[in-house]
Amino acid sequence: MQALFIIIPLLAVLILNLPFRKSYRRIAFYLAIVVTFFQIAMTLTSGFMLWINITDLFKFNFITQLSIDLFTLVVLFTIGLIAFVSLMVCRFSYKKDPFNFINLILIAMMGMNGIVMTRDIFTLYVFLEITAAASFILIAMDKGIEAFEGALKYLILSAVATIFILTAIALTYFSIQSLNFGDIGSYLKGLNGRYPPNITAAVILFLTGLSIKAGVVPFHGWLPDAYMSAPAPVSVFLAGIVTKVAGVYTLMRLTGEVFNNIPFISSVLMAFGALSIVIGALAAIGQSDFKRILAYSSISQIGYIILAAGIGTPLAFAGALIHFFNHASFKSLLFVNSAAVELQTGIRDINKLGGLAGRMPVTGGTSIVGFFSTMGMPPLAGFWSKLIIIVAAWASGYYIYSIIALLASVLTLAYFLILQRKVFFGKIAEGLENIKEANFGLSFPAILLAAISVLLGLVFPFIIYYFQANWLLKLVL
């Protein structure tokens, strides 16, 4: 069954690129939507039990090399959801032919699905490269100077990260003779804190490489330019899921499963997390570009996830996982809102906007949900994940980190209030009097993501019970 998450998007790409494919261009969008629906349905329902019987007929060797647990399921669902949103934004707002974008989204989905299902560090590297390659091309698709600059910065820093990760894999294999997460974790546990220089170097290189991929401070230099210069649907996709899967998920998985016995990793991750929370928020306050503010906000919110991963307790990890999903949904919502504003007004400079809430009520209303959820306002979804992270930090004795995470919400409130005031409230800006609401393709995803933030926040206590129910775990796993 696991292999279907890679094979289905691959088949879709191959079908769309067969000879005489001009006739397939018309169905490309619908085929891609079906693939995302398939992924969402498979992760949500018990229907995939049926697929296990079907795929038994196909003896794919690599089925045994992939595995799915609850963490993977949540991320697979998130990938499907954000890919669906990005496709909608592209179909209804991207002025150029969306065919190439659709193909690249499907390739990136394959890469990300492989990242979350593998338990082997070399396979992880291969799928990281698939995701990175698709991302470079997506950022550069518009072929403008800004787009190439953003793609080049991402490419260069990603190449540096790749060198670090590959070197770490080589050092690990040389020392341990295995690339499996479980084998490496057992070996490190058996060392009882006496780590040879090879292993220490490998761990440091892994941390550095993955921190670059995640856009964590101080390795975040590429992120604002890449998010800002990419076309709107690409920004939704990158900010919503790509950076989180390629960097944040991988850090969480390796920290939890492989490096969980190494104390200094915890300290480093918590420090990086706290730095990202504060510096991301402070940098966002000084920005005037809508997307750039959201990019720095992403750095700040990713810092919460990294902080929780560094704390490492089960409660902290649960908070990290929930914030992973929440951030994917509310950040994608905010980038959809920025796409709507940019499409309707042609402006991203918040100093030249104003009073749009009356002209674009859906965009304005959903942006408020996104902002409040980012800030951690109850009863929205973002409140619960931030609360869990802050409580986990306090309960583990990391009082300073807990206070930093709490006070940073004030900074978040500051830059989002500035953004709301300048873009959606106040007097309507000159020349924007005849602006109308964005089309269905941008309004529907915004309403969907806002509804998810609200509903998830309201039913959160029941969801915790749902995931803890043993009968469900047995069914799902």
Partner 1 sequence: MKDILIMIILSGLVLFAVISVMIRSLVKAAIALAIASAFLAVMIFILGAWIAAVIELSVCAGMITVVFISSISLTIPLSKEEVAVEAKQRMSRFIYLPFILVLTLAAAIILWNSRLINFDFISALKGTQVNLDFSAQGSAIWDKRSIDILGQVIVLLSGAFGVVVLFKERNQK
Q: Which residues have a Cβ under 8 Å from the Cβ of 85 and sit 6 or more positions away?
A: 236, 240, 332, 336, 445, 448, 449
d(CA 340, CA 423): 12
Shorter beta-carbon distance to partner 1: residue 137 or 418: 137
Residue with Cβ nearer partner 1 (155 or 405): 155
Which DSSP helix (H) or strand (E) runs through 68?
none
Instruction: In angstroms, give the least distance from the CB of 131 to partner 1.
Output: 9
CB of 202 to partner 1, least distance (A): 11
Residue 136 or 324 having the CB closest to partner 1: 136
Interface residues with partner 1 (CB under 8 A) are 6, 10, 13, 60-62, 65-66, 100, 103-104, 107, 110-111, 114, 118, 120, 122-123, 126-127, 129-130, 133-134, 136-137, 140-141, 143, 174, 196-198, 201
The token pair at 172 is 């690990």
Q: Report the distance separating Cα 350 and Cα 313, nearest Å.
A: 41
For partner 1, the closer of residues 15 and 469 by Cβ is 15
For residue 173, the tally of other CB atoms under 10 A from its CB is 15
Q: One-letter amino acid identity for 91? A: R
- Give the count of alpha carbons within 13 A of 205, CB side only: 18
Least distance from partner 1 to the Cβ atom of residue 66, Å: 7
Please tell me the distance from the alpha carbon of residue 414 to that of residue 405, in angstroms, as a whole number: 15
Q: Which is nearer to partner 1, 163 or 410 (CB)?
A: 163
Residue with smaller CB distance to partner 1, 201 or 418: 201
Q: Which residues pair with 66 in a beta bridge?
A: 118
The least CB distance from residue 118 to partner 1, in Å, is 7
Cα distances from 326 to residues 16, 179, 218, 404, 414, in angstroms, run 33, 32, 24, 20, 20
For residue 357, the minimal CB distance to partner 1 (Å) is 37
170 versus 368: smaller Cβ distance to partner 1: 170
User: If we measure between CA atoms, which residue out of 123, 115, 122, 129 comes closest to residue 68?
Assistant: 115
* Nearest distance in Å: CB 109, partner 1: 11
CB of 152 to partner 1, least distance (A): 12
- Phi, psi for 174 (deg, rounded to 5): -60, -35
Q: Which residues of 40-59 are buried (b: 16+ CB within 10 A; e: fewer)?
A: bebbeeeebeeeeeebeeee
Q: How far is the CB of 135 from partner 1 (least distance, A)?
A: 10
Nearer to partner 1, 132 or 456 (CB): 132
Side-chain-facing half-sphere of 178: CA atoms under 13 Å: 12
